[in-house]
């Protein structure tokens, strides 16, 4: 009988990028909207600032994720090339190294060597990549996937404060945007925690705290530039 198990580790690449993008979109644009609104700017200026910030932020998140994950992929490729060279030039030493890894994990010396021989015969590079270097298919760097997930999530998150600013009466933009943002952050934080298998309340509270801090700081700075005066 098959025993299917649903592990969460395969989600780590896109989930991390999406969570960071969504939270950054909500917090960054909410802070921008609150700061601009607190300065006394008109509704048109608030909307223009939010939309411009969304476009710039989405590109920034995508570029940052792509460069970061691509750098990781480049490092892994370099390590694999080094391992491939070692396997070609020093096969006996690499076999002994692999056997030593299995022995350190609890196998006796004879069994560890037999396992190492069989895995080496099957796919030596894959065995070393997995057991020596710690590379796994589920965690393989995917730069484009991370970039798209981050950019789209940023725009989705940014939509909340922008829509709040549009539908709220001008005099209440700061209050409405703040409340909507904190509610949205609690939902995104709880969702991310649930997908990752972490406590839901903890995931919600930590993003709400930092979102509130960001909007408070932005609002105070906006009031320093009271353009309506």
Residue 150 has pLDDT above 60, yes or no: yes
Q: Where are the domains of the chain?
A: 10-72+144-224, 81-139
51-105 tens-digit pLDDT? 999 999 999 989 988 998 888 888 888 888 888 888 888 888 888 888 888 888 8
- Residues 6 or more apart from 65 whose CB is under 8 A from it? 17, 20, 21, 143, 146, 147, 149, 150
Q: What is the number of residues in the chain?
A: 229
Please give the helix or strand (H or E) that residue 7 lies within, else none.
none
In the prediction, which pLDDT does 137 show?
A: 63
7-36 tens-digit pLDDT? 444 445 566 677 778 888 888 899 999 999
Question: The whole model's pTM is what?
Answer: 0.71
Residue 2 has what DSSP assignment?
-
- 100 three-class SS: helix
- Residues 6 or more apart from 202 whose CB is under 8 A from it? 193
How are the residues of the chain apportioned to helix, strand and coil, as percentages rounded to the nearest 5?
85, 0, 15
With vertex at residue 57, the alpha carbon angle to CA 187 and CA 172, rounded to the nearest 5 degrees, is 60
Looking at the chain, the whole-number percentage of residues with pLDDT higher than 90 is 17
């Amino acid at each position: 009988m098959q025993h299917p198990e649903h592990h969460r580790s395969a989600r780590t690449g896109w989930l991390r990028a999406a969570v960071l993008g969504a939270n950054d979109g909500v917090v960054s644009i909410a802070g921008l909207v609150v700061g601009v609104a607190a300065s006394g700017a008109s509704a048109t200026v608030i909307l223009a600032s939010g939309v411009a910030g969304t476009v710039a932020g989405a590109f920034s998140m995508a570029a940052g994720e792509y460069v970061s994950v691509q750098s990781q992929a480049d490092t892994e490729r370099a390590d694999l090339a080094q391992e491939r060279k070692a396997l070609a030039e020093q096969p006996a030493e690499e076999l002994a190294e692999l056997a030593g890894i299995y022995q350190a994990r609890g196998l006796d010396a004879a069994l560890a060597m037999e396992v190492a021989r069989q895995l080496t015969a099957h796919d030596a590079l894959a065995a070393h990549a997995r057991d020596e270097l710690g590379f796994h298919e589920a965690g393989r760097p995917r730069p484009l996937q991370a970039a798209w997930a981050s950019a789209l999530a940023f725009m989705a998150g940014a939509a909340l404060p922008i829509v709040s600013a549009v539908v709220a009466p001008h005099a209440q933009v700061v209050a409405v945007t703040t409340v909507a943002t904190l509610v949205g952050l609690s939902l995104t934080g709880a969702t991310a925690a649930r997908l990752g298998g972490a406590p839901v309340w903890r995931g919600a509270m930590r993003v709400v705290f930092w979102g509130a801090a960001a909007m408070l700081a932005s609002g105070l700075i906006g009031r320093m530039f009271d353009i309506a005066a």
